[in-house]
Every structure is written in structure tokens, then in C-alpha cells.
Amino acid sequence: MPELSTKLFWVFVAIWSIWHFVSQWYAFTHPIEKQLYFGWLSWWQVNSIVWYFTAAAVFAVYLNKFWKPVKVREKMMKGKKAER
Amino acid sequence: MAEWYTGQGGIILGLIIFLSLVVIGFSIYISKKSKKTVQDYVLAGSSLGIFVLYFYGAFTIMSAWTFYGLPGWVYAYGHGIMIPWYMFIHLFQVMIITVLGIKLWGAAKYYGYSTPLSVIADRLESQNAQYIFSSVNLIFVAIYLALQPAAIAIGLNVLVGAPLEFGFVYGAILSGLIAFIGGMRSVAYTNVFLGAWFLIAFVGTFIIALINLPNGLTGAAEYIVQNKPWLYSNPDPFGPAKLTGADRMAYALGYILSGFSGALWIHLMYVPMTLRSPLAMKWYPTLQLISFPIIFTVIGVTIGTTVGHVLAPNLPKADQVFQYIATQYGGVWWGAFVYIGAFAAAVSTMGTMIVAAASLYSYDIYRCLKKGKCTDQQIIWQTRIFLWILVIVSTFFGWLAIVGWKYIGLPAPVPLADFLNFLASPGFALNVVMLIALYWRRATKEATIISFIVGFILLAIGYVYQPFTYMLTGIKGLPALVIALPVELILFFTISYLTKPASEQTLAKFFDQLERYINEQPDPKVEGIS
């Protein structure tokens, strides 16, 4: 059975994928073309930047702290160092 | 009238040739480190670390499409459909280079496989699968490949008035040479240099554009809101298809769906196989997911939709917008520097694609036809010969779509972005069944092959006969992938449950043993952990 962290990671990936379809629906039903942020960034640009940066943070935490292929190799490196 | 290659044009051409010679020299230097094996030629000996991976991975993805195609497309049609498309693409791209590609990495490192399709064919116990998947992927790689020399040709034409044919031939020869000389290792290390040039040119042009805006970025954005607000909306409200209501929604969703193919671009499936260890993967997604919104969403999109319509209004060809702003406001020398950046973007992507695609033939087709009875040297030379054939075919296809469009009955030249968005990307999406087969024990060869072929046929019919999807659904503008992908997946899962799974021995090899190696028992010697 996958660990809880792995399950949560894939739930995040699913939500981040669905985001596109939800945001398309939102964009169809709201006058987003009139919305500017900081005076020049459009709604779609801000939506995209928030989405990317959140994903960047989640990937950083998952791959560095919880992903087995990395964890097992880092443990092995520590073991090798301790041996020396 | 002076010829384009005299005076300033001649000096710029000289600079481009000088840069080309430097890149070729660098490729020769890197190739000296090669071990002359297939794994070294095709996968850089599975030895890359995070620094080279970032430039190699990111600048294989960021091609001339990013440089000219993206600003040009959003300049013409607005960005409401383009942004979600590439967001989806990028999410899946970082996953194929890490969490989804980890089994391909393991297969290369633990079992010594040299191409992703050879892994999948052995997993499915079917050599026929290897022929079919290779042949179909070659078609879509050739289409995407055609975009790169086309961009090189357009950029040089805008900059110094060089005939398009010159740019096509020059770009094709240089990319072919880099790949020919040192394979993937040369391509990966050369991408570090080319990527750095790309970044300076791209960011520099954005800064120059900002300085030259009469009322700043806020003034430019306000101008768009007042005069062309649809550039910020979603999608195609006044564009070429004139879509409304459900048609508009279906078009947008279908378009975004092709973004799913980000994990399935065949040349990106090679990237995890080139890495020394998963340790090289752990920071890659973060680096890409931070740098890509800056490059795509902030710079590329703002230049196309906001800055472009103020500094370069009413251009006859939208794909010229980036180069036009660079040359007009940065001066011809900056224009030349930027052109070389675009040139670098095209060459860096072409290199990876050429090596990957040529190995689809040499390793996945030629080696199998010879039943494995061929030496590494023979396979490398087959790769080298085929890569030139591929370069010639793709360049000719690009020329037909951009210059010779009248000869093949097209109403207008194909926009650069469409080579990827509309043609190649949906084709790569068909590879989804191969990726699932790597992670799902129940997947069978019959299911994977049949569903893949049916998906391909449906997609091909939609490309050749555009009313096809309208006939089936009554919805206008629906991309063929929206039909092809669900049909492919339904067939795949249904047939998998109806047919016999692979042998216990094969399942043990690709699931139990491989997963144990990846997740529990790494071999410190092969991964250089000491």
C-alpha cells in the first residue's frame, strides 16, 4: 500500500489537473478579460503564476522529504559517510 | 539593391557561423568523453546530474515554439486558451522526468535498456509493439521537429531578409551535426550553453520592450482592456472559428486535454533515462515550475498580448512579433543577439529530438529486425544515418507548411505554434497506454497495441477530414483527440481484462524486482554513491 504522503501527493496532482477545467468554466462565466492585477497582469496570468508556484512548493517537499527513491539513496549516502 | 549577406547582414551571418563553429567544437570536445556504446550515444551513459539536467530538460522543452510561436500565437488569438494548455503540459512534463519516469530510469540503470520503447516492448512481451509504437511516434516527432528549422528561417528572414530556404537548410545542418557528432551527451551539455544564451536574449528583450512602452506596462494593459479585451479572455471569442456556447467550451476543453500529453512526448521519455540517480531528479520539478511561469506566462504572454499590440501593432505575420520588437527597439545588433537566442532554442530542442527519433529507428526497429545480432557500432551508425534522413524529411515538411503551403492546398501558412499544439501534441497523447502499461500489471500487449492503433486511426481521420468530429458529435471545432483518447482508454482497459496478462517472469522483472531496486535496494556502485 502506498504511504499517506504518496496518496496525498497524487490527490494534489489530481486537483491541480482538474483546476484547468474548473478555471475554464470560471473564465466562461465571469468577465475575466476586464480584470487586471498590479495594473498589468491579466486574470489568466495571475491564475497561472499561483498554480505554478504552489505546485513547485509541493513537489519540492514531496520529492525531498517523502519520495522513496530519493530517501533510500540519501540514507545510503549517510551510511557510507558514517562508515568512512 | 544589396544582397542580404553583404554589409550588416554579412556581419550578422558571420556571427551566426562563428557561434555555430563554437557549438560544433564543443560537441566534438564532449564526444571525446563518450564510451562509444549505444547507451552512451542515446542516453549520455545515464550519467547526468541536476545542473545539466535543468538546462537539458528545460531547454529541450523550451524550443523555438517558446521564443517565436508562443508570443505570436497569443498576439493573434489571445492567451485564454494557451495558458491552461501549457500549464497542463508542464505539470506532466515534470512528472515524466521524475515520479512517472522513475521506472524508465530504473530500467536503463538496472537492466541497461537504451530506449523507452524497448522497455515497454519487453514489458508487453511484444516486438511488434516496438515496431508500431516507434513508427507512429516517428511521424509526430517529425512534425514537431519541422517547427524548429521553420523558426530559424522566419527569424533570419525578419532580421536580415535572408531567403527562408537558407534558414531552413542552415538550421537543419547545424542541429544534425551536433547530434551526429556526439549523440545525447553532446546535446545535453550544449544545451547548457544554448540555454544561457536563450535566457539572456528572452529576458533582455522584455526589459527593452518595457523601457520603450510610452505609458508603461499599466498603460499598455489598459489599452488592451479598452480596445482588444478578448486578448485576455477565453478562448476564441472573436477568433477564426467564431465559436460560442457549448462549441466554445468543447473546443477549449479538447485543446487543454492535449496538454495531458506533456508526460508522453516521446523525446522527453528519454530524459529520466539519462540521469545518474534519482537524487538528480529531486529539485528538477521545482526549478522548472518556478522558471516556466516567468518565461512563459510573464515574458512570452505579456510580449504577445500586451506589449506587442502597442509596440508592434498590425504585424502581417504574428510569429514575427518577438523578433520585430527586439530588432526595432533594441537595434539591429540586439536583434542579431536575440535571433541567435531563438536559433539556440531551436537547435537545443532539435538535438534531443533528432537523437531520440533516430534511435526509434536504429534501436527499436533496425536492431529488432536483426534480432539483436548487431554491434553497438552498427546501431550508432544506423542512428547517425537515419538522423540525417529525419532532418531532411522534417525540414522539407516545415518548408511545405510555411513556404510551400499553396502547393499542398492549405489556405495560409501554418502558424508555428500549431505544429505542436494541433498536430504533434495530440499524437504524443496516444502514448498514454504505454505509460499505464509500465505501472499496471494487468495491462496486456493485445490491449495496448489495439487501443493505440485505433486511437491513431481516429486521430488521423480527424486531421485529414476535419468535419469528422462534427459528424460524430454535432459540436463544431472539437479536436479529434477528444474522440480518440477516450476510445483508446476504454478499449485499453476492456481488452486488458479480457486477455491474458504477461508471464509471471516478465511481471516479476518489471514490477517486483525493478520496484525493489528503485525504492528499497539501490546499487551504490552503478549510481556512483560513495
Average pLDDT over residues B245-270: 78
CA-nearest of B330, B63, B337 to B195 is B63
Helix (H, G, I), strand (E, B) or coil at B275: strand
Residue B19: all three cell numbers together = 557561434
Q: Which chain A residue has its CA at the smallest distance from B516's CA?
A: A69
> B29-43, B78-92, B471-485: which range is least confident on average?
B29-43
Q: pLDDT tens digits for B357-408?
A: 888 888 888 887 877 778 888 888 888 898 899 999 999 999 998 888 888 8
Chain A: give the shortest CA distance to residue B451, in Å.
24
pLDDT class of B507 with cuts at 50, 70, 90: very high
Between residues 295 and 334 of chain B, which touch chain A (CB distance below 8 Å)? 297-298, 301-302, 305-306
Instruction: Name the phi and psi angles at A42, rounded to 5.
Output: -80, 170
* Separation between Cα atoms, residue B142 and residue A84, nearest integer Å: 51
State whether A60 and B520 contact (CB < 8 Å).
no
CATH number of B7-427: 1.20.1730.10
* Separation between Cα atoms, residue B209 and residue B332, nearest integer Å: 14
Please count the residues of chain B.
530
Which of B53, B77, B82, B87 is the best substitution to test chain A (most A C-beta atoms within 10 A)? B87
Q: pLDDT tens digits for B265-289?
A: 898 899 999 998 899 899 999 999 9
pLDDT (0 to 100) of residue B45 = 75
Q: What is the ipTM of this complex?
A: 0.93
* Separation between Cα atoms, residue B342 and residue B336, nearest integer Å: 10
| Residue B425 near residue B261 (C-beta atoms within 8 A) | yes
- B/e letters for B56-88, b = 16+ CB within 10 Å, e = fewer, are bbbbbbbbbbbbbbbbbbbbbbbbbbbbbbbbb
Of B80, B91, B285, the CB nearest to A44: B80
Write the DSSP string, chain A.
Answer: ---HHHHHHHHHHHHHHHHHHHHHHHHHHS-GGG-EETTTEEHHHHHHHHHHHHHHHHHHHIIIII-HHHHHHHHHHHHHHHH-
Of B79, B298, B529, the CB nearest to A76: B529
Check whether B203 has a pLDDT greater than 90.
Answer: yes
Residue B131: all three cell numbers together = 515496431
pLDDT class of B448 with cuts at 50, 70, 90: very high
* Separation between Cα atoms, residue B292 and residue B87, nearest integer Å: 9
> B115-124, B250-259, B421-430: which range is least confident on average?
B250-259
Domain boundaries along the sequence of chain B: 7-427
Q: Average pLDDT of chain B?
A: 87
Query: Can you say how many angstroms the Cα of residue B228 is from the centroid of all Cα atoms in its chain?
Result: 31
pLDDT (0 to 100) of residue B240 = 54
Q: pLDDT tens digits for B83-138?
A: 988 898 899 999 999 999 999 999 999 999 989 999 999 999 998 999 999 999 99
Question: Which parts of chain A have pLDDT scores under 70?
Answer: 1
Of A44, A68, A76, the CB nearest to B524: A76
| Residue B334 near residue B204 (C-beta atoms within 8 A) | yes
| Residue B340 near residue B19 (C-beta atoms within 8 A) | yes
